[in-house]
Amino acid sequence: MVDRLTWHPPDIPEKSHSVGDVRGALYGSRLYEQPEHREWAASVLQFLEAPGPVALEIGFDHGMRLLDHAHRWPEIRWVGVEIRKARVEAAAAHAPSNALLLRADARTLLANLIPEGRLEFVYLLFPTPSVREKHLLVTPSFVRSLERALTPTGRILITTDVPGLADWMEKQFTGWPEADGVPMGPVLSRRERVCQRDGLPVWRTVRRRP
Ligand SMILES: C[S@@+](CC[C@H](N)C(=O)[O-])C[C@H]1O[C@@H](n2cnc3c(N)ncnc32)[C@H](O)[C@@H]1O
């Protein structure tokens, strides 16, 4: 169990900074090149090819926010990515046609599948404060993949209630200017609800590409 108040980042070796290779990624970072995943990858690309802005929610958990957003903004194509299979299956059953819920590692998806300059909005709400470098989401290579995947006006919303993680992410996003908000409905994520209930301070920022 990670103590949120004392969390600090694990060491990140320089060699793990290259874009495309994601250490510890679910099923490996090159899975979209494998024959058994090509069809799945092609269907994701087909969803992304349709006209209109695309929003990505990373680690959507039960997916209630994402599904609400998809109903509320039908002109946006919503992609959700989550590593927990049961969560993805349960939420995907309720997804409207402008939402695609994927069981995948967000780091691999961003680095190796989402086309350059395709994402208008990214939501990163309360990423897991991992103490293992292999599982930490926000790293220098993640930020580079994100920069590649965003449109020139693209924005990311980031929240955390882990002070050390806020400091770490602030550092990773150095040079990314503060930006206007992103579309936000009234449904709270699970962690947002916990923070509200327990009165925990939340670090929240919206940034755009440098
Ligand atoms: C602390 S929870 C926060 C969930 C939700 N966003 C919220 O605000 O309540 C982090 C979520 O990210 C998911 N997750 C962790 N690493 C991930 C990765 N590499 N790719 C996609 N999802 C990931 C976890 O399974 C978990 O559901």
The CATH code of the domain that includes 35 is 3.40.50.150
Given the CA of residue 137, which atom of ligand 1 is nearest to it? 19
Partner residues linked to 58 by β-bridges: 81, 124
Residue 126: is its pLDDT beyond 90? yes
Does residue 52 lie within any of the structural domains? Answer: yes
Q: What is the pLDDT of residue 1?
A: 78
In a domain, 27, yes or no: yes
Where in the sequence is the domain holding 88, given as residue range(s)? 21-208
Determine the distance separating the centroid of ligand 1 and the alpha carbon of 126, expressed in angstroms: 7
Q: Average pLDDT, stretch 4-30?
A: 74
Domain count, the chain: 1
State the closest ligand 1 atom to the C-alpha of 109, by its place in the atom list counted from 1: 20
Instruction: Give the integer Cα–Cα distance in Å for 183 and 51.
Output: 18
Radius of gyration, CA atoms only, the chain: 16
Asked whether the beta carbons of 61 and 37 are under 8 A apart, the reply is no
Work out the average pLDDT over 163-190.
Answer: 97
83 alpha carbon – ligand 1 mean position (Å): 7
8 in a domain, yes or no?
Answer: no
Residue 16 within any structural domain of the chain: no
Least confident of 2-6, 15-19, 84-88: 15-19
In this structure, is residue 132 part of a structural domain?
yes
Taking the CA of residue 69 as centre, how many other CA atoms within 13 Å lie in the half-sphere pointing to its CB?
26
Spacing, Cα 61 to ligand 1 middle (Å): 6
Range of lowest pLDDT (18-32, 54-68, 166-180, 187-201) = 18-32
